[in-house]
Amino acid sequence: MAPSMALAIHPTFKVLLVLVWLTWLGRGMGGTIAPAMADPSLMPPQQPALTLLPVVTGGLQQPVYLAQAPGDADRFFVLEQPGRIRILLRGTLLDAPFLNIAAGIRFNGEQGLLGLAFHPSYPTNGRYFITYVRESDGAIVIAEYRASDDPNVSRRAEKTLLVVPQPYPNHKGGMLEFGPDVLLYIALGDGGAGGDPQNRGQNRGELLGKILRIDVDRGSPYTIPPGNPFARSGARPEIFAYGFRNPWRFSFDRHTGELWVADVGQDKWEEIDVVRAGGNYGWRIMEGRHCFIPRQGCPTTGLIPPVAEYRNDGSRCAVIGGYVYRGTKIPALQGIYLFGDYCSGEVFGLRNGLQSVLLSAGRQISSFGQDRDGELYVLGLKGTIDRIVEARP
Ligand SMILES: [Ca+2]
């Protein structure tokens, strides 16, 4: 199968050594990864020198996401892919999970507990939302949970919002987050195999290969926002945008509200999309800015190209979406979209269509995370959390 978003530990130490070596090589080469559109005046006047500050070095099993809850400066909530939400309380990893639903979760490869979003009114309503692949049949589940009176322990009662059957074990997507419109956005992959064999990304009659948007404050378990682009068209009304392969991570720019989606590529091209309502982002007609089916002369009318792409050659294999930096501690990073590659461990910066390597993390990057202040974190699949900080000479 073509490269996908393999969230599995590499099978042999030899492969790991090669990866480490390639990462080291990449560090030495550095520089721009997409030479096109080169107007140097668009580049940041001085690229910030970045490094990683360890936050957690052990005690986590396959962390795949990190978030803070509104109104809570003390805690980081960390998703463990096998099915637990752990708490990092003022720098200390608590032994007892906030939530442990591992028994009901299918944990294998790209499957597991994949997404977490706190309701903007979490301090008063305690509501939060997760995405996971369930043990019984491999379907992906969007579910709501609630905090208890103990801020370190969740209630266990589940309210199911959506169950989406999955034809294959890969390409789950799984990110979910509230937009500035207080609507819940959910990313679903094309359902897997390779090359989207049933053309789900382009089929607006189903939910796979889409970004969804639902209103969890009205209706039960949710309602369709009246502004959804296909609310009255016969397509699935939850769809916000379509034509995605495996949108594993997305984020909203805190200043502009723009929705930045990283879509993991198939054979050659990893892409970054800025997504708007009703947009068709091309898969499987196109992979990045290139025809996929058919390989030449594909119909591109109406397809929205990515704002950036890079080739998944030897050391690079899968894009990991990050955040437009809106923190205060690294002024030179302001407004730059940070993202990474799962295999190479590189962290890239993107602004005005120009990308460059900002940092080599030297690990498998499973996700980025953002704290309340807008500072950014790198999660390593093998159990690490590091904060991105400015390197001091
Ligand atoms: Ca695309």
**DSSP conformation class of 382:** T
CA of 269 to the centre of ligand 1 (A): 9
What is the per-residue pLDDT for 46?
Answer: 62
Burial of 357 (0-12, 13-18, 19+ CB in 10 A): buried
Measured in angstroms, how far is the CA atom of residue 282 from the centroid of ligand 1? 4
pLDDT at position 314, please? Answer: 83
* Cα angle for residues 371, 375, 379 (degrees, 5° grid): 75
Separation between Cα atoms, residue 5 and residue 248, nearest integer Å? 8
What separation in Å is there between the alpha carbon of 281 and the centre of ligand 1?
4
CA of 313 to the centre of ligand 1 (A): 18
Whether the CB-CB separation of 376 and 391 falls below 8 Å is answered with no
Measured in angstroms, how far is the CA atom of residue 226 from the centroid of ligand 1? 26
Phi, psi angles (nearest 5°) of residue 195: 75, 15
> Contact, 198 vs 126, CB < 8 A?
no
Inter-residue contact 184 to 178 (CB < 8 Å): yes
My answer on whether omega of the bond before 127 falls inside 30° of 0, hence cis, is no
Phi, psi for residue 75 in degrees, rounded to 5: -115, 145
Cβ–Cβ < 8 Å for 225, 238:
no
Distance from C-alpha of 168 to C-alpha of 85, rounded to nearest angstrom: 25
Peptide bond preceding 247 in cis form (omega within 30 of 0): no
DSSP state of 112: S
Q: How far is the CA of 355 from the centre of ligand 1 (A)?
A: 18
Closest residue by Cα to residue 257 from 188, 355, 334, 324:
324
Q: 283: CA distance to ligand 1 center in Å?
A: 5
What size, in residues, is the chain?
A: 393
Q: How far is CA 311 from CA 33, 304, 314, 338, 379, in A?
A: 9, 19, 9, 17, 22
Q: Are 270 and 309 in contact (CB under 8 A)?
A: yes
pLDDT under 70: residue ranges of the chain? 1-46
Contacts of 360 (CB under 8 A, 6+ apart): 23, 24, 26, 27, 344, 345, 346, 347
CA of 199 to the centre of ligand 1 (A): 14
3 state SS of 103? helix
CA–centroid distance, residue 346 to ligand 1 (Å)? 22
CA of 126 to the centre of ligand 1 (A): 36
Dist CA 237 CA 239 (whole Å): 5
**What residues does the ion ligand 1 have nearby, CB within 5 Å?**
281-282
Domains detected in the chain: 13-390 (2.120.10.30)
Task: Write out the DSSP string of 310-338.
Answer: EE--TT---EEEEEE---SS-GGGTTPEE
Q: How many CA atoms lie within 13 A of 313 on its CB side?
A: 7
Reported as type and span, the H/E element at residue 191 is none
Dmax over CA atoms of the chain, in Å, equals: 59
Amino acid at 81: Q
The upper half-sphere exposure of residue 374, i.e. CA atoms within 13 Å in the direction of its Cβ, equals 17
pLDDT computed for residue 29 by the predictor = 31
Query: In angstroms, rounded to a whole number, what is the distance separating the alpha carbons of residues 321 and 305?
Result: 17
Q: State residue 313's pLDDT score.
A: 86
